[in-house]
Amino acid sequence: MNNAPRNWACGLMAPAVLITLGALFLMDKLDMGLEFGDSWPVLLIVIGLVKVLQALAASPRQPATSGGPQPGPPQSPWPGSGSTPQP
């Protein structure tokens, strides 16, 4: 079983499609000037937007690198515990 954390966009497709279909049918039923037969491209747009959001959420994030100085090796928090002997 996959133990990877589930991102927020994974389960977005079904609710988005159902809400869009419901809104389109409601607009058709209320005679708002938009018939369902003419509004199906809206459904395709919503599906495309959800797919883009899923792709963005799944893409690995790369840390931004700047041209500034890079951090040095880790230092010991305890004085005198380094590799050089203390007098």
Rounded CA separation 12/62 (Å): 24
Angle at 70 between CA 85 and CA 74, to 5 degrees: 30
pLDDT, position 1: 45
| Domain assignment of residue 78, yes or no | no
Provide the token pair at 18. 């159902």
| Domain assignment of residue 84, yes or no | no
Rounded CA separation 20/34 (Å): 14
Q: How many domains does the chain have?
A: 1
Per-residue pLDDT of 1-32, as tens digits, reads 454 455 666 688 889 999 999 998 888 888 88
| Domain assignment of residue 27, yes or no | yes
| Domain assignment of residue 45, yes or no | yes
| Domain assignment of residue 19, yes or no | yes
| Domain assignment of residue 50, yes or no | yes
| Domain assignment of residue 53, yes or no | yes
| Domain assignment of residue 48, yes or no | yes
Rounded CA separation 34/30 (Å): 9
Average pLDDT rounded to a whole number, residues 59-83: 66
Average pLDDT rounded to a whole number, residues 58-81: 67
Per-residue pLDDT of 24-59, as tens digits, reads 888 888 888 778 888 889 999 999 999 998 888 877
Domain that includes residue 48, residue range: 13-58
What pTM does this model have? 0.55
